[in-house]
Amino acid sequence: MEKISIISARDGIRIIVNDEKASVEDLLTAWQPLCDDEVIHKQYAEGNHKACQGCKVNCCKTAFLIPDLVALKKLSRGTDLTYQECVKRYFDENELKLGLVRLKSNPCVFLKNNLCSFYDQRALMCRFYICADLLGDAEQLLYSIAWIGSTATQLFAEENGLLPERSGQGSGSFERLFYGLINDYRNDPRVRLFMEADDYGNIPLKPFLETL
């Protein structure tokens, strides 16, 4: 039996975890085929039934994204840049001044010719997003993993001096929303799972399932 089953029904997608030792990497492996699935109903896909690649709406064009900490670590390793150099090259300078480690957007800094140039290493928020209905606790599971991972990035940036000394001097509605979400998870013990992991295979799913 597979560690994780993804069930696509007419009314939405359900996630079933069959192995209590499953990791976030196992979830990603089970989830990825949905991106290429042309059977399930996708709200923004052409004709509602197309693979995500080449989508004309393309959420990457407007994404407001704080990547999870494993994604940041992979970015640093994959580009041979220090964390400070990664932040300088790929993250929004104005948002950094406001105290948020948000990637450059409109479009995403990694979007090239309408395709992600960092696809295999992209952040959890990108990996989990699919414009289809989710059933049961699937949405909450994906949401909590992605946001705890992003919170870990924010805390890592604060602890390692990746933000300007005088940050957080003002904010708009998006910034306030992100601050609020990060503060909701700031003291969550599961943040430590991302702090200590170099890969998604090092992060167990069980702690996220226990709160559903």
Residue-wise pLDDT for 105-152, tens only, equals: 989 999 988 888 999 899 999 999 999 999 889 999 999 999 999 999
Is the model more confident about 171 or about 161? 161
pLDDT of residue 166: 59
Domain limits of the chain?
4-209
Each residue of 20-62: pLDDT tens digit? 999 999 999 999 999 999 999 898 888 898 898 877 777 888 8
The whole-number average pLDDT for the span 66-77 is 97
Global pTM reads: 0.92
Spell out a b/e string for 21-44, using b for 16 or more CB atoms within 10 Å of the CB, else e. ebbbbbbbbbbeebeebeebebee
Q: Is residue 5 scored above 90 in pLDDT? A: yes
Hey, how many other C-beta atoms are within 10 angstroms of the C-beta on 79?
Answer: 14
- β-bridge partners, 6: 15
Strand, helix or coil for residue 212: coil
Q: Express as a percent the part of the chain with pLDDT over 90.
A: 68
pLDDT of residue 66: 94
Among 209, 211, 206, 210, residue whose Cα is nearest residue 23 = 206
